[in-house]
């Protein structure tokens, strides 16, 4: 069986981002790479969104940028601006196409469906398959979204609704998320933060239909795309080994308080590329410890006080939007962290700290 210098297990977001970054910077001109990916065909399956706080390789896959967003609680609507860090959505279909076209031009890159098809004994492995670490108490961000097309132009496509808490919370945390791509097209998602034990909260189609028809008052529309997923809000068991680095969700690239992963994957890919010649002695790339610590407390509060979360999220956005965005995107300084911590209900967070 054929051997390769490097093997990427999983040609999804992290595997392909890394291969693209290595290929772009000519790290694979004299080395071979195998990418193991079981899927038969790539098509749009996700929409990756985030505040653009760093440069990335995929500006040409962006569906839309926005510079305004709102957070809605039952008692108030908070309008915020994000001129410095626009909110972006990447179409995964465009992302897969762009990368695969480019990678296929390099004769040193090979694609396989199964790891058993190659000999990995002497290969350096980049693994993006998470080892399950789930127990009944772990929280997930689970969601379903549909992109709808309406007959008339009804959306304001200059502003997104990041969180709308005007919906049934059912002892969990629940909000809707609306990204208007055009005046007559928007992605509308129902999002839950819960241990996924209560099946009654997973009738996503009904929730979305009711929200579109009753909250947004839209009657005439058709569904043109659907996505569904569950992001673990806990770290996987994967450990880096001598000849193996975990990437993507498996590599702990998800920010646990938000589920945002895409830009962390891009930063990790750049880190690996910059240190590629020294890959066997590389220090682990991690989301900074201060965020891991603060997110752990935040998730404890969320688990123990779901009813308080709409207000907590709204209060968080009472500091300048730029500060919150930097905090949620792992780019804040000590003083910015403090300004957010001071907005949180002190006794609730202190209790969580000592539990």
Ligand X SMILES: Cc1cc2nc3c(=O)[nH]c(=O)nc-3n(C[C@H](O)[C@H](O)[C@H](O)COP(=O)(O)OP(=O)(O)OC[C@H]3O[C@@H](n4cnc5c(N)ncnc54)[C@H](O)[C@@H]3O)c2cc1C
Positions touching ligand X (CB under 6 A) are 9-15, 36-39, 46-50, 128-129, 227, 229, 231, 248-249, 259-262, 265
Q: Please report which helix (H) or strand (E) contains residue 125, including its range.
A: strand 124-127
Shortest Å, Cβ 347 to ligand X: 32
Beta bridge partner(s), residue 77: 72
**Pick from 89, 111, 126: which is nearest to 42 by CA?**
111
* For ligand X, the closer CB: 232 or 310: 232
CB 251 within 8 A of CB 125: no
In whole angstroms, the minimum distance from the beta carbon of 277 to ligand X comes to 24
Shorter beta-carbon distance to ligand X: residue 80 or 187: 187
DSSP reduced 3-state for 37:
coil
Nearer to ligand X, 142 or 352 (CB): 142
Residue number, 228 or 305, with CB nearest to ligand X: 228
| 254 HSE (CA, 13 A, CB side) | 20
For ligand X, the closer CB: 313 or 352: 313
**Residue closest to ligand X, measured at CB:** 12
> What's the Cα-to-Cα distance from 52 to each of 56, 174, 182, 308, 344, rounded to whole Å?
8, 25, 20, 29, 25
Q: How far is the CB of 257 from ligand X (least distance, A)?
A: 12
Looking at the DSSP bridge assignments, the partners of residue 140 are 194, 232
Instruction: Note the maximum CA span of the chain.
Output: 64
Question: Least distance (Å) from ligand X to the CB of residue 18?
Answer: 9
Q: How far is the CB of 147 from ligand X (least distance, A)?
A: 12
Tell me the three state secondary structure of residue 243: coil
The answer for residues whose C-beta is within 8 angstroms of residue 241's C-beta and 6 or more apart is: none
For tokens 């910059």, name the residue. Answer: 274
Cβ at position 189, least distance to ligand X in Å:
9
Nearer to ligand X, 130 or 310 (CB): 130
């Amino acid at each position: 069986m054929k051997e390769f210098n490097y093997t990427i297990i999983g040609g999804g977001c992290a595997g392909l981002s890394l291969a693209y970054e290595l290929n772009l910077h000519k790290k694979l001109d004299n080395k071979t790479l195998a990418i193991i990916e079981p899927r038969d065909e790539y098509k749009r399956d996700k929409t990756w969104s985030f505040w653009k706080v760093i440069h990335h390789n995929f500006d040409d896959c962006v569906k839309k940028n926005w510079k305004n967003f709102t957070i809605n609680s039952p008692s108030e609507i908070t309008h915020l601006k994000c001129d410095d860090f626009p909110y972006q959505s990447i179409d995964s279909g465009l992302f897969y196409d762009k990368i695969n076209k480019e990678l296929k031009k390099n004769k040193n890159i090979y694609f396989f469906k199964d790891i058993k098809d190659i000999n990995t004994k002497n290969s350096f492995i980049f693994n993006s398959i998470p080892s399950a670490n789930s127990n009944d108490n772990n929280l997930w961000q689970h969601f379903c979204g549909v992109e709808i097309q309406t007959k008339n132009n009804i959306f304001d496509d200059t502003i997104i609704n990041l969180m709308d808490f005007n919906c049934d919370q059912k002892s969990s945390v629940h909000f809707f998320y609306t990204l208007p791509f055009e005046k007559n097209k928007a992605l509308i998602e129902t999002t839950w933060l819960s241990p996924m034990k209560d099946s009654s909260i997973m009738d996503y189609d009904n929730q979305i239909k009711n929200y579109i028809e009753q909250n947004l008052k839209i009657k005439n529309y058709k569904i043109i795309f659907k996505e569904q997923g569950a992001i673990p809000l806990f770290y996987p068991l994967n450990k880096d080994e001598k000849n193996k680095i975990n990437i993507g969700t498996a590599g702990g690239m998800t920010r646990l308080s938000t589920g945002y992963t895409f830009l962390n994957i891009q930063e990790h890919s750049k880190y690996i590329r910059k240190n590629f010649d020294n890959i066997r002695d590389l220090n682990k790339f991690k989301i900074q410890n201060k965020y891991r610590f603060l997110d752990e407390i935040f998730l404890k509060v969320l688990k123990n006080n779901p009813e308080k979360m709409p207000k907590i999220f709204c209060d968080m956005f009472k500091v300048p939007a730029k500060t919150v965005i930097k905090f949620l995107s792992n780019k804040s300084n000590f003083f910015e962290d403090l300004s957010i911590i001071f907005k949180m209900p002190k006794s609730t967070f202190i209790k969580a700290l000592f539990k």
